[in-house]
Amino acid sequence: MTTIDAVVLISGRGSNLAALLAAADAGELGARIVGVIANRPGAAGLQTAAARGIATDVVDHRRFAERALFDAALAEAIDVFAPRLVILAGFMRILGEAFVEHYQGRLLNIHPSLLPAFPGLDTHRRALDAGVRLHGCTVHFVTPTLDHGPVIIQAAVPVLDDDDEATLAARVLAQEHRIYPLAVRWFAEGRLRLDDGRVRLAATQRGDSALIAPAIDER
């Protein structure tokens, strides 16, 4: 398998970072995580990376009066590693157009909804309020328009009548941990192609599966 260098950006606990590292340990990621950068000094994921001997850095957004200055400092920290891929894993900052264009076609994000539904924050509450029967997560290429980049892979989960934000979020997060390593591997293998704003995957795809919700046990 082709191996590329990647940098992961985090803001908090780094659960998707841990999933990516687990996939790398299993030889299923196709990427070597060479650096982890946080915008918050106390981000728990920094400890996860440091314990693995991965280089870490902090670019604290609170030290910058303007977003453009933060973006420039962040890009400088990333480019020290000369990564082929930049992975946003719970990175809770909106990135400016110049930053996004600098990494165009090699900047990935995961969002906890089935985009284009529910971009932005509070996705699980909004899904529950809307009464949808399917919710999920999306890995996409980042563009200057927030949470609207070309979709690489999605996973859907049922929304149950007794769900609250916590139970629904947990079900979605489990799928995030499944699909993000897949998207990174496909990128590393050169299987992803952008075609007029859509992602084309060089692989045989099945069309015989569906998730229907609600599904009930009638046994």
- CA separation for the pair 133, 130 (Å, rounded): 9
Beta bridge partner(s), residue 137: 155
Name the active-site residue from 61, 102, 111, 124.
111
Element (H, E) at 135: strand 134-141
Query: What b-and-e string marks burial along 2-13, b requiring 16 or more CB atoms within 10 Å of the CB?
Result: eebebbbbbbbe
Is residue 124 part of the annotated active site? The answer reads no
User: CA 113: distance to chain centroid?
Assistant: 11
Task: Determine how β-strand 107-111 pairs with β-strand 85-88.
Answer: parallel
Q: Which residues are catalytic?
A: 111
